[in-house]
Amino acid sequence: MDTKLQQLKDTFEMLPDWEERYRFIIDLGRKLEPLPETAYRDENKVRGCMSQVWLIADEAGDGEQIRFLGDSDAHIVRGLIAVLLMIYSDKSPQEIVDTDIQAIFEELALEQHITANRRNGLHSMVEAIRQLGARRLDASTN
């Protein structure tokens, strides 16, 4: 397990209940790096989310890794984006595609504590990230 994910898991375990975990998730969202104004375009919008969500991918480090940025008009969703960025950012396209997100969500007990609409939106965001990773993987092998 990578360092950011382990820190997230450790923090979740330290917090006494889900009310505190929600506060933590919202706080993570407040700390998201802002998107450039040009990113708020229709092609960067994630479909399937009740809130408005934008995700973009950029090269990180040596150019072999992908760094994700995201934003939403809803506080809790911004926090969920921050959680996903901790899981997926600064990884290679292959690592992104290979990430067992269900196992991570189970470890964090995340899905059973969010509404069905947020769960659907979360899965839409995961799918968008996986597609960005898969496209980069395809481009690098062709």
Which active-site residues does the annotation give?
Answer: 49
66 contacts 91 by C-beta, under 8 angstroms: yes
Concatenating the DSSP letter of every residue in 67-100 gives EEEEEESSHHHHHHHHHHHHHHTTB-HHHHHH--
Give the sign of the dihedral formed by CA 115, CA 121, CA 124, CA 128: negative
- Backbone phi, then psi, for 76, in 5-degree steps? -65, -35
120's enclosing H/E stretch is helix 116-141
Three-class secondary structure of residue 118 per DSSP:
helix
